[in-house]
Chains A and B, each alone.
Chain A
């Protein structure tokens, strides 16, 4: 069956530009997560959506980062005024329960 998809797979942008990363979760999964992995670091939690509840934004590193999930399905992570330290692989995951997450292939973001 269809898994979690993310687009674009690679994004190169200039410092100061805004970027949008998209995640299409598995149909029917109520939970959606965004993580990122910077070079040499572990996976870092960014934001968590669960159904219609208010998202857990506790992992967003600054107010330049925001995310929304429309209609309980597709999610967009937006990074405004990108900085070089934002370069990372951004992973999206969805789950039907908290016990197992299904990851997308990730978006590799490079900020020049």
Chain B
């Protein structure tokens, strides 16, 4: 059974601050790491899917890195905006398992 951990549980920053979150996952038999953004009353939106050690992906002000050997991924947000407020979920798959999600990091960006 996969155990995906995310930290911090919640984060409150000011507009313009840069921030980052951590996702740790079992590195054995790793297949893929997903990041989702989940706004209240909406469905989770896929941000990134990463599979290779050392992968770095970027989407606007948001970027993510992946270390499959040590089992962690970082999500970075540069110059946070109020519209970035959401819960950021990471999920991992290994072998033929379905996605196992972490509990998420709840981000609040104040104007």
Contacts and interface: CB of A to CB of B under 8 A. Distances in A.
Interface of A: 3-4, 33, 35, 40-45, 48, 56, 59, 91, 98-106
Nearest to A33: B98
Contacts of A100: 34, 46, 49
B43 interface: yes
Q: Interface size for chain B: under 10, 10 to 19, 20 to 34, or 35 or more residues?
A: 20 to 34
Contacts of A48: 98
Interface stretch (B11-19, B58-66, B72-80, B101-109): B101-109
Contacts of A59: 98
Given A91-B43, A103-B44, A42 B49 contact: no
B99 A45 contact: yes
Given A42-B4, A98-B93, A104 B101 contact: no
A45 B98 contact: yes
Interface string B88-103: 0101010000111111
Contact of A106 (B43, B91, B93): B43
B43 to A, nearest CB: 4
